[in-house]
Structure 1
Amino acid sequence: MVSFKFIHTADLHLDSQFKGISGLSDGIRSFLRESTFTSLDRLVELAVSEQVDFMVISGDVYDAQDSSLQAQLRFYEALDRLGKHGIGVYVIHGNHDPLDSPRMKTGKREHVHVFGPEFEQVTAYRRQDQRAAAVIGGISYPTAKVIENTSLRFQRDKDNSLFHIALLHANIDGDPAHETYSPCTQQDLIASGYDYWALGHIHKRQILHELPHIVYPGNIQGRSIRETGVKGCYVVQVAEDGGVNMRFHDLDTVRWFHETIPIDSIAGEEAFQTQVEERMQEISRECPGKMSIVRFVLTGRGSLHEKLEEGRIAVELLHELHRRAIRSASEPSGLAGLVWVESFDVRSGPWIDREALLKEDSFLGELLRYGQQAREDMTTRAEVLRSALNPLMANRELRMLLNETDDEECAGWLRRAEEMAVLLLAGEGGGESTDED
């Protein structure tokens, strides 16, 4: 076996829309739209600087609904740049860019291999001397919904001693946050005999297993508040004895954050604004060359909560922060280090002795106990939400919006409902038990 180096990337989603962000200037919006292309450029630059032998792309180069001509042209341009440096590219298509989705026709590139709808294996070669380096197996989605366990088609060629790499776009072990396409288990992958599973579909970077390596690199650019943290790809060095060394490289130009601010010790509006601005400065220092988008999650209990519930403080501060960001973006320094506040998520509550109320034989105590049960037990939570939201399901547009919500959002609704009830009932003496019940 020869030593070699490759890049594992997935979920490029070129030119796809950024979700859940409003109030942007034209300049900032244009920068966001360009960000997936900038990350693609950085991916190519990394491949060249690292002198990798080849690159594997594990699905979702595009979004079918946003598969613009510009996205296709920029991807083909990137492929040509890699080809000029002798870097081979091996690609599968996933649920967002299946083989039957509309795309422009281009000539065949000798250094690029796109796997078809049936499982196949090809040999990848080391760039500098064209010695056989690895066997790469892969399969693309023919249509957007693949519910078959396609991993079972991967079986190592026992007569071939080369390192074996599998390209699969799949949901491993039924991750509930993503569509269950090409469902399989880690044991299915381990049993195949492959040395490295180059996965795509899940946008969170994860190494699920080592020896064999089962790896999600995540996407190269976060596109919503659900895709927080560093985004990029893995550079994988394989030694002559088959040992694997992995290094993660960030590629994103826009980074998303959840930042928590407890209100317990915040005395008033001015102190609240100071806390927010200090956190923004910390984020800017952490990501000096990037644009950052942050959602501030307000937690804890204190006197500030009632004003936050009224909405005025958060709305006015958000408007002012957006005004400053737009002005800053128009200056010569541009968007490097810019922090855009996406929203304030109020999860705080009024000051109460929660532990004491949980023990009380009162309506408020019962409400808090039921709310705690709903947070901890998914069945109870589902029953509460189904009962509360059922009247809205008759409206088609509302039904579509509700079907797009995730468990975190639903849990947030329950938290807010509980806090509003506590605020109303505690103010009316709802936490006091009497002998007249």
Structure 2
Amino acid sequence: MAWHRLTTTIREQPEDIAIAGFRFIHTADIHLDSPLKSLALRNPELADLIGGATRQAFSNIIDLCLDERVDALIIAGDLYDGDQTSMKTARFLASELNRLATAGIRTFIIRGNHDALSKVSRELVLPGEVKLFGGRAEHVLIERGQGEKPVAIHGLSFANPTAPESLLPKYAPALPDAINIGIMHTSLGGAPGHDPYAPCSPVELQATDYDYWALGHIHKRSVTTGSTTIVMPGMPQGRDINEDGPKSVTLVSISDDGSVDLDERQTALAEFARISIDATGIDEWSDLATALTDALKPARSSSTAPQLVVRLSFSGETPLAWRMRRDSELLFAEAEERAMQIGAVWIEKFEINCTPPRTSERSATDPLHELRSLIETAILESDAYEAAVASLADTLQAQLPTDLRDLFGADETQTRARRIALAREGADDVLARLQSGPASGNGTA
């Protein structure tokens, strides 16, 4: 695949000065063969695409290492996705890493919190060129050519799925007269959606005097520069809409004078994106279909991933608000047709948050107006209704496979918010179907 550069380099050297560097690819949070969640209940073809995407992204990383002829690949944890890992996944990993070993490229891996759950990761026999760090901090010293500094790569794996205390004190001091690279799986100071693991601060990492810290755990890329370069590379492949946007790895070159060059390279097979469509003023179905194309085309053009997976959100005031809800399956089919015409675009889901124009609202004596008011004030806000919905949701959740139960929320707060949102969506759908007016035929333009 074509490797897209997403950022410029930092600490660039003058063009007339060629300084040999130790070059490596830094990645993390690959989550090989991660089980699908929401997609598993929808389009089977899309589920198959995303189901194999983490493997394809990893193969892309291996290809990039070979194309760039790097010295090493560094994986900063969560190569696997917990106890669901099979020996089939492990054999795939060994085969891919063997491609690097055959080319003389070394691989350095630490276990993250998800890897610590995996049983097969402890039984897998890896190629000799692969260093899997254990539960005690250590370093590997790589000797280089004459006149070049050696490289010390420091690593420490999670021995258990949790690490509530900082692991930084366990790392050895920077070796003098060497390029020092640290590998750590850490939540740093914390991030939304990520549990705290091995917490530490960028200031503490800078104080180690390492040249580079290769981090993992947080799925969004971040870079801190200074006396020490600290990189959280993000993940190479998103798995659902909550991991939207471009995904990449970082190509790093560290020179003997301590200068660091970073080059972000995209690796994802599929990119997730949220697209909003303002339907204000649209009063014809054909114009709504045109708005779909107008929104999807630029999104496809701006994405460099081979496939684009979209969640559409409609908002605004439009006379079509009721019809969009009543004929939502036709609107979804329209969106899929427009996506197919553009090519390499998938519709994962859409959300309809449109309302009728205020000028066309029904009078207070209209039965549907009264029903809406009753639902919003006397039913949706009542404790008895919430308790009934909670009981029903708990029953449904218990019948789902374990890996799908987070669909209703990962904790009590998320679950309650999800129940409320679903109840309101259901009420809107019922009112839409009760709204007077003939059905819409095929609903296409």
When the two structures are superposed, what TM-score results if normalisation uses the length of structure 2?
0.74
Q: Is the 8 A contact 1:133 1:163 kept in 2?
A: yes
Q: What letter corresponds to residue 24 of structure 1 in structure 2?
A: N
Q: What letter corresponds to residue 54 of structure 1 in structure 2?
A: A
Residue by residue over 1:350-394, the C-alpha shift from the partner in whole angstroms, topping out at 9 and shown as x without a partner, is: 4459xxxxxxxxxxxxxxxxxxxxxxxxxxxxxx9x999677666
Taking a change above 3 Å as real, the CA distance of residues 408 and 164 of structure 1, as seen in their structure-2 partners, is farther
Give the drift of 1:72.
0.9
Give unmatched runs, 5+ long, in structure 2: 1-18, 360-380, 399-404, 429-445
Q: How far apart, CA to CA, are the structure 2 residues paired with 1:138 and 1:9? A: 14
1:112 to 130, 133, 139: 130
Taking a change above 3 Å as real, the CA distance of residues 131 and 242 of structure 1, as seen in their structure-2 partners, is closer
Taking a change above 3 Å as real, the CA distance of residues 84 and 153 of structure 1, as seen in their structure-2 partners, is same
Q: Which stretch of the first structure deviates more once superposed, 280-289 or 146-155? A: 280-289
Residue by residue over 1:83-125, the C-alpha shift from the partner in whole angstroms, topping out at 9 and shown as x without a partner, is: 1111111100111111763347344533111111111122234
Q: What letter corresponds to residue 219 of structure 1 in structure 2?
A: M
Alignment of 1:384-399 (within 5 A): 395=394, 398=397
Q: Does 1:147 align with 2:164?
A: yes
Correspondence for 2:43:
24
Q: Which stretch of the first structure deviates more once superposed, 192-201 or 95-104? A: 95-104
Q: What letter corresponds to residue 315 of structure 1 in structure 2?
A: E
Q: How far apart, CA to CA, are the structure 2 residues paired with 1:182 and 1:50? A: 32
Q: What letter corresponds to residue 84 of structure 1 in structure 2?
A: T
- Calculate percent identity across the aligned residue pairs: 27
* Root mean square deviation of aligned Cα: 3.7
Q: Does 1:259 align with 2:265?
A: no
Q: What letter corresponds to residue 102 of structure 1 in structure 2?
A: V
Give the drift of 1:178.
0.9
Q: Which stretch of the first structure deviates more once superposed, 287-296 or 77-86? A: 287-296
Q: How far apart, CA to CA, are the structure 1 residues paired with 2:128 and 2:425? A: 61
* Equivalent position SS for 1:113: strand
Q: How far apart, CA to CA, are the structure 1 residues paired with 2:110 and 2:305? A: 32
Give unmatched runs, 5+ long, in structure 1: 329-335, 354-383, 423-437
Give the drift of 1:313.
3.6
Correspondence for 2:348:
342
Q: How far apart, CA to CA, are the structure 1 residues paired with 2:55 and 2:423? A: 41
* Equivalent position SS for 1:204: coil
When the two structures are superposed, what TM-score results if normalisation uses the length of structure 1?
0.76
* Equivalent position SS for 2:215: strand
1:84 to 94, 102, 121: 102
Correspondence for 1:427:
none
Residue by residue over 1:28-75, the C-alpha shift from the partner in whole angstroms, topping out at 9 and shown as x without a partner, is: 443332222221111111111111111110011111233122221111
Alignment of 1:182-221 (within 5 A): 182-221=198-237
Q: How far apart, CA to CA, are the structure 1 residues paired with 2:98 and 2:311? A: 38
Q: What letter corresponds to residue 142 of structure 1 in structure 2?
A: A
Q: How far apart, CA to CA, are the structure 1 residues paired with 2:105 and 2:214? A: 18
Q: What letter corresponds to residue 156 of structure 2 in structure 1?
A: I
1:68 to 63, 82, 86: 86
Q: Is the 8 A contact 1:290 1:337 kept in 2?
A: no
Q: How far apart, CA to CA, are the structure 2 residues paired with 1:120 and 1:338? A: 45
Q: How far apart, CA to CA, are the structure 2 residues paired with 1:405 and 1:314? A: 30
Q: How far apart, CA to CA, are the structure 2 residues paired with 1:406 and 1:271? A: 41
Q: Is the 8 A contact 2:36 2:47 kept in 1?
A: no
Correspondence for 1:371:
none
Correspondence for 1:15:
33
Correspondence for 1:136:
153
Give the drift of 1:293.
0.6
